[in-house]
Amino acid sequence: MDKLVSLCKRRGFVFQSSEIYGGLNGAWDYGPLGVELLRNLKEAWWKEMTYRSNIEGIDAAILMHPRTWEASGHVENFTDPMVDCKQCKSRYRLDILFEELSVKKQKEALREMEPGKYEGQQRDEVIADEFRKKTETAPGVILPFLNCPNCGNKGSFTEARKFNLMFKTFVGPVEDSSNVVYLRPETAQGIFVNFLNVQGSSRQKIPFGIAQIGKAFRNEINTKNFLFRTREFEQMEMQFFCKPGTDEEHFEYWREQRMKWYVSLGMPADRLQWHRHEPGKLAHYAKDAYDIEFKFPFGWGEIEGVHNRTDYDLTRHEEFSGKSMKYFDERTKEKFTPYIIETSAGASRSFMAFLVNAYAEEEARTAEGDMELRTLMRFHPSLAPIKSAIFPLVNRDGMPELARKIEADLRPHLRVFYDDSGAVGRRYRRQDEIGTPYCVTVDSQTLQDQTVTVRERDSMVQERVASDKLLSYFSTKINHS
Ligand code: GAP
């Protein structure tokens, strides 16, 4: 991870937010290459989800009427249990504090809590299971036996208390409770409250979906792992409205579609898995829920949730707004509250997963025949920030002029990069490191027959292509690989 984070900064993918002031925890800035990758990722999702006859797009405001969040249950339920260390003032999300404890520490705590009971040869799984049960039934009893991960003091934690993750602010100049608004903690609610606006204006019939990409904000107690858990992030959500009774079939359909999407963009199937939420641990709105998890260097982590939200959201908004959220089926003359199947992906978190997935180091042969380590980003060509780099082999004999012409011809259609400095091998390595799938070199043969060398990033195989056919060559490669 450290190598990736440093490459991200050095090559302009991701910078720490307001770094010159020491940074702001949980916020990151996307640099010139990062913003291209993020846009390509969002574009791929947008095309995948909305280039269908039964899905419409929307871009709702971040600030919404505060009643929205009462209706959604966020004011009451969007909380995490939090503890503070009384000695060093570090703050922890209780479930994460428990989760991150090694089995050795769990064993020590259990033994101290109940002397004699955990002596002997208990297997790690037995201890972990026993510890998990205790954290679920009596978290307060365990706390005094744990050390603070920061200062090491034992028994220094406060009692757990609930902390609401929504960021609060005020509309207008007066900062009183009647002017409170929240930065949305999910994009979903902007879709639910617009359900009938979109349905009526687009003349969609159920079943149909509404998709949205946008920022969301959560005042996470512990941010961590680079872009994985941040306070400001982007989501790509689609809410599919269907008739009750058909929800399970749509749920299965969307689960399949969403998993396929990650694989189609180059994630190996064995680096992805489903995690089903146990019935007792479902969110307050869900009938069934699965996470798509990606294997990060620090372990499996959720990148997208697929949830059966039932009619909870529309029923609640109807109750709190006093406006009907029911759908009238002209054909059957039935009136009902649709069920919602949600696919909720993190754009920022998937961005990180695609970065991690692409990062590779391998031995490669130099032009002189020696072996050297090359770092490369194996991005799917449609995600790669720069699609092609263009090099003149040498800076004379008319090669720069020809290379500049190729650059000018391609630039209106593709993000390209011109580089004429250093040996060609070095130029290849610089492009490998940022994931550019194709490098074009203008050489002496180009002067004879107008063909160029195109070198593919992963295989390093080179082929000759007519310079006036490059655009169609790239379009085919980028869209169909
Ligand atoms: N509307 C449902 C919803 O928001 P969620 O599981 O809380 O569900 C969906 O979030 C996705 O949003 C997650 O799978 C993750 O990719 C992303 N996400 C959630 N919290 C995040 C955070 N603090 N930082 C980065 N991404 C986050």
- What gap in Å lies between CA 392 and CA 443, rounded to an integer? 6
**Helix, strand or coil, per DSSP, at residue 125:** helix
**Interval 221-235: pLDDT, tens:** 888 899 999 999 999
Site to substitute for ligand 1 among 17, 64, 186, 255, most atoms within 8 A of C-beta: 186
Protein residue with least CA distance to atom 19, ligand 1: 346
341 touches ligand 1 (CB under 6 Å): no
Protein residue with least CA distance to atom 7, ligand 1: 186
Q: Contact at 8 Å (CB) between 128 and 177?
A: no
- Given this model, what pLDDT does residue 336 score? 98
302 touches ligand 1 (CB under 6 Å): yes
**Interval 136-183: pLDDT, tens:** 888 888 899 999 999 999 999 999 999 999 999 999 998 988 899 999
Please check the confidence at residue 480 and state whether its pLDDT lies above 90: no
Distant-in-sequence contacts of 329-332, Cβ < 8 A, 24+ apart:
329/205, 329/206, 329/243, 330/205
74 touches ligand 1 (CB under 6 Å): no
Nearest-10 Cα torsion for 284, 288, 291, 292: -150
212 touches ligand 1 (CB under 6 Å): no
**Which atom of ligand 1 sits closest to the CA of residue 291?**
14
235 touches ligand 1 (CB under 6 Å): yes
What is the Cα 276 distance to its own chain's centre? 19
- Given this model, what pLDDT does residue 367 score? 76
Site to substitute for ligand 1 among 184, 302, 303, most atoms within 8 A of C-beta: 302
Q: What is the identity of the amino acid at 258?
A: R
**Interval 83-102: pLDDT, tens:** 999 999 999 989 889 988 88
**Which atom of ligand 1 sits closest to the CA of residue 187?**
1
Q: How many residues does this entry show for the chain?
A: 481
Site to substitute for ligand 1 among 233, 291, 354, most atoms within 8 A of C-beta: 233
Protein residue with least CA distance to atom 4, ligand 1: 186
Please check the confidence at residue 327 and state whether its pLDDT lies above 90: yes
**Interval 331-378: pLDDT, tens:** 999 999 999 999 999 999 999 999 999 999 999 888 788 898 999 999
Distant-in-sequence contacts of 266-275, Cβ < 8 A, 24+ apart:
266/354, 266/357, 266/358, 266/378, 266/379, 266/380, 266/383, 267/294, 267/353, 267/354, 267/357, 268/357, 271/295, 271/357, 273/300, 275/300, 275/302
